[in-house]
C-alpha cells in the first residue's frame, strides 16, 4: 500500500476515534423539584452518545410511567428493593409539596420501576430475584409473560418490541446496543454493603399475612451498585446504597478504572467523612455526582451551607462534586470531565 493511502486511513481512523471520544454522555437527574436536590431524589437517566437511554433507580421522585421527563427508556436498572429505589410511592405531581417533604401517593402494587419497564418496553437488568419480582409485576400489567431478552451475538439490541429480563449475578455484565449498527454499552452489577428487603405493600395478601406477625421482611437477593462503560469511554460507578467497602478500591478503581462516580449519601449508611474517603481515597474518579441525600440539599440550585451535602462537597478534594439537580442535564466526556451543564 502506498504511503499516502496508509496516511489517509490513519487520519480517518484517528478522526473517527476522537469524535466518538468527544461526544458526551448526558446525565439527567429526575428529582421531585425542578432545579433542586431534594429529600426523595434518586432517579437518574444516562444517555449514551449512541442514543441508548438507561434509567437508574426509578424511585419515588417520578410520577410513574406517564412522567413526561422519561422519554424513551431502553434499559431499567435497580440497585435494590427498598421502597425509595423500587418506587413504592410516586409523586402526585411534579414539584408537589416541598423539597424536604414532597407530595407522594402510593404506587402499590406495581411500583414505579415496574410501571416504567412495562410502558417503555425496557430491558430489565438487575440481580435475578429482583428481576423476577419486577418481571412478574410487568406480566400482571401486560397480561402476557415477561420473557428473557433476546440477544444478537452477546448483545441486546434496541429498540425492543416488549419489556424483557436480562438477569445478572453480582459481577455479571450485559451489553446493550441502541441499534444494530451502534457500539455496545456495558452494564455490570457490582457489590454494595446494604440489604434488599422489599416493601410489604408491594407483596400479595397471602405473603403479607405470613410475614407481618413477626415483622420480618423478604430479601430479593443481594444489593448492588453498577459500573456502566459508555461508548465514549466514560466509566461510571453508581454506588447504590452502601457503607464503605474495600471493593470500591479493588473492583471499581483498580479493575474497572471508573472515572465518574454517582454517590448515594444517606444518613444510615455513610457519613459525609466516610463518603469523602470513598471518593478521595478508594475510587478516585475524575468527578462525583451526589444523590440520595435525604435532605433538602439545595435552595435555588445552590447547596445549602448547613447540610450534610455541603459537608461532603467541602471534604471532596482534587475533583469536582456536583449535586444531582433535577432536570439539569450534565454532559461528561470519556475521561469523566463535565463539559456542559455543571
| Binding stretches for Zn ion (CB under 5 A) | 82, 84, 241
* Closer CB to Zn ion, 78 or 316, in the complex: 78
Q: Which residue has the cell 401517593?
A: 105
Based on its alpha-carbon atoms, the radius of gyration of the chain, rounded to whole angstroms, reads: 20
Q: Which is nearer to Zn ion, 86 or 184 (CB)?
A: 86
Q: How far is the CB of 205 from Zn ion (least distance, A)?
A: 25
Q: Is 62 helix (H, G, I), strand (E, B) or coil?
A: coil
Residue 84 CB, shortest distance to Zn ion, in Å, is 4
Nearer to Zn ion, 60 or 231 (CB): 60
- In SS3 terms, 176-197 reads as EECCCCCCEEEEEEEECCCCCE
Three-state DSSP state, 88: coil
Angle at 59 between CA 58 and CA 64, to 5 degrees: 65
Comparing CB distances to Zn ion, the nearer of 47 and 84 is 84
Shortest distance, position 282 Cβ to Zn ion, whole Å:
20
Phi-psi region of 215 (alpha: psi -120 to 50; beta: other; left: phi over 0): left
* SS3 at position 163: coil
Which of 84, 295 has the CB closer to Zn ion? 84
**Cell digits for 254?**
483498580
CB of residue 86 to Zn ion, shortest distance in Å: 10
C-alpha to C-alpha distance for 320 and 288, rounded to whole angstroms: 6
CB of 154 to Zn ion, least distance (A): 31
Amino acid at each position: 500500500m502506498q504511503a499516502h493511502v496508509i496516511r489517509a486511513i490513519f487520519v480517518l481512523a484517528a478522526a473517527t476515534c476522537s469524535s466518538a471520544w468527544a461526544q458526551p454522555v448526558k446525565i439527567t437527574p429526575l428529582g421531585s423539584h425542578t432545579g433542586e436536590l431534594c429529600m426523595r431524589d434518586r432517579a437518574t437517566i444516562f444517555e449514551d452518545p449512541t442514543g441508548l437511554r438507561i434509567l437508574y433507580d426509578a424511585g419515588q421522585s417520578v410520577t410513574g410511567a406517564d412522567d413526561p421527563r422519561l422519554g424513551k427508556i431502553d434499559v431499567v436498572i435497580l440497585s435494590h428493593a427498598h421502597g425509595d429505589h423500587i418506587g413504592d410511592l410516586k409523586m402526585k405531581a411534579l414539584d408537589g409539596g416541598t423539597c424536604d417533604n414532597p407530595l407522594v401517593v402510593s404506587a402499590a402494587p406495581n411500583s414505579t420501576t415496574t410501571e416504567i419497564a412495562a410502558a417503555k418496553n425496557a430491558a430489565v437488568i438487575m440481580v435475578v430475584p429482583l428481576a423476577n419480582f419486577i418481571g412478574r409485576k410487568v406480566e400482571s400489567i401486560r397480561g402476557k409473560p415477561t420473557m428473557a431478552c433476546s440477544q444478537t451475538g452477546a448483545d441486546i439490541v434496541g429498540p425492543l418490541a416488549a419489556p424483557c429480563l436480562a438477569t445478572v449475578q453480582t459481577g455479571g455484565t450485559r451489553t446493550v446496543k441502541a441499534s444494530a449498527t451502534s457500539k455496545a454499552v456495558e452494564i455490570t452489577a457490582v457489590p454494595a454493603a446494604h440489604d434488599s428487603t422489599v416493601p410489604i405493600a408491594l407483596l400479595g395478601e397471602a405473603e403479607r399475612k405470613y410475614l407481618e406477625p413477626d415483622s420480618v421482611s423478604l430479601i430479593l437477593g443481594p444489593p448492588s451498585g453498577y459500573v456502566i462503560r459508555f461508548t465514549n469511554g466514560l466509566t461510571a460507578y453508581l454506588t447504590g446504597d452502601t457503607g464503605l467497602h474495600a471493593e470500591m478500591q479493588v473492583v471499581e478503581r483498580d479493575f474497572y478504572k471508573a472515572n465518574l462516580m454517582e454517590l448515594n449519601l444517606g444518613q444510615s449508611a455513610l457519613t459525609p467523612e466516610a463518603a469523602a474517603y470513598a471518593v478521595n481515597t478508594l475510587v478516585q474518579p475524575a468527578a462525583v455526582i451526589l444523590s440520595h441525600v435525604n435532605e433538602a440539599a439545595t435552595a435555588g440550585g445552590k447547596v445549602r451551607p448547613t447540610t450534610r451535602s455541603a459537608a461532603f462537597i467541602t471534604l471532596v478534594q482534587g475533583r469536582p462534586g456536583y449535586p444531582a439537580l433535577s432536570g439539569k442535564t450534565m454532559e461528561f466526556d470519556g475521561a469523566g470531565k463535565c463539559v456542559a451543564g455543571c
